[in-house]
Amino acid sequence: MSSYKNLLTAQAGGVLTVTINRPDKLNALSIETVGDLTAAFGAARDDASVRAIVLTGAGEKAFVAGADISEFGGLTPVTAKEFSIRGNALISLIENLGKPVIACINGYALGGGCELALGCTLRVAGDKAVLGQPEIALGIMPGFGGSQRLVRICGKARAMELCLLGDRVPAQRAFELGIVNFVWKQDELRAQTAALAERLANSAPIAVKYILEAVNRGAECSLEESLAYESHLFALCFATQDMREGTKAFLEKRKPQFKGA
């Protein structure tokens, strides 16, 4: 049972599903919701039984339609910066969780919702989903890392286009831009996402963690530094029982049973 006011959580095997549950607000990210998500992902990070996480929104209209604009009127420059810092901390937590997180984009993923998805390991979308950074229409800019992660994901020119024009991008276009990994039919989205999450949950947890670290670090370092780090992590894999189980299973032509050790 979920102990969060704005979230539903459910675990099946090694897969934890976190659902933002504010469908009447199109799952908008209120200050309280950011706090709930931070607590939920902190708990998932520390729970060895959780090997993969699916993040989605309640209902069929929205993943997260953006920040809760009704709270903006009470923000000063100081409190707005604090809100941005808290949002960035949440998304960095997700990005560096050490476990794969799939954003299951079931509808609108705009503003803070798009930024939340950008921090996930993989992004999958229903064919009716819409993504975008429309903050410019409010006289503001992205505040949860959108301008920075879009540069890294789809390049400077596209980041400028998406942030300056604020256009809403359909799922297929987001796929073409490299923002979304897979686009599935809306009525197949949740089942396909569950299958993908189970596949990740059955992978060797230590190797998964090292891959996440290597890719994230490599995006920020020189090629020489990142190759050296990859070699270091590759060597550490050979100290694990999972490596021995994986190679043995391959030679015996059976599925490996990874224990995360």
In angstroms, rounded to a whole number, what is the distance separating the alpha carbons of residues 203 and 90?
25
pLDDT digits (tens, 9 = 90+) for 91-121: 999 999 999 999 999 999 999 999 999 999 9
| Structural domains in the chain plus CATH codes | 7-201 (3.90.226.10), 205-251 (1.10.12.10)
pLDDT at 1 over 80: no
In angstroms, rounded to a whole number, what is the distance separating the alpha carbons of residues 217 and 204?
20
pLDDT at 157 over 50: yes
In angstroms, rounded to a whole number, what is the distance separating the alpha carbons of residues 259 and 242?
7
- Averaged confidence pLDDT in the chain: 95
E strands within 70-181?
A: 101-105, 108-110, 122-126, 130-132, 169-170
DSSP string, 140-174: ----SSHHHHHHHHH-HHHHHHHHHH---EEHHHH
- pLDDT confidence bin for 16, thresholds 50/70/90: very high
pLDDT at 8 over 70: yes
In angstroms, rounded to a whole number, what is the distance separating the alpha carbons of residues 239 and 109?
41
Annotated catalytic sites, by residue? 115, 135
pLDDT value for 5: 93
pTM score of the predicted model: 0.94
Rg (CA), the chain: 19
pLDDT at 2 over 70: no
Of the CA atoms within 13 Å of residue 31, those in its CB half-sphere come to: 12
Give the residue-averaged pLDDT of 165-194. 97
| Pairing relationship of beta strands 130-132 and 169-170 according to DSSP bridges | antiparallel
Contact status, residue 28 vs residue 65, Cβ threshold 8 Å: yes
pLDDT digits (tens, 9 = 90+) for 20-55: 999 999 999 999 999 999 999 999 999 999 999 999
Give the residue-averaged pLDDT of 165-174. 97
Residue 145 vs residues 57, 92, 153: alpha-carbon distances, Å: 20, 9, 12
- pLDDT confidence bin for 3, thresholds 50/70/90: confident
Residue 157 phi/psi, 5-degree rounding, is -60, -45
- First CA to last CA across the chain, in angstroms? 29
| Pairing relationship of beta strands 108-110 and 15-20 according to DSSP bridges | unpaired
Picking from 81, 104, 77, 79, the residue whose alpha carbon sits closest to that of residue 18 is: 104
Strand partners, 12: 15
Give the residue-averaged pLDDT of 171-190. 97
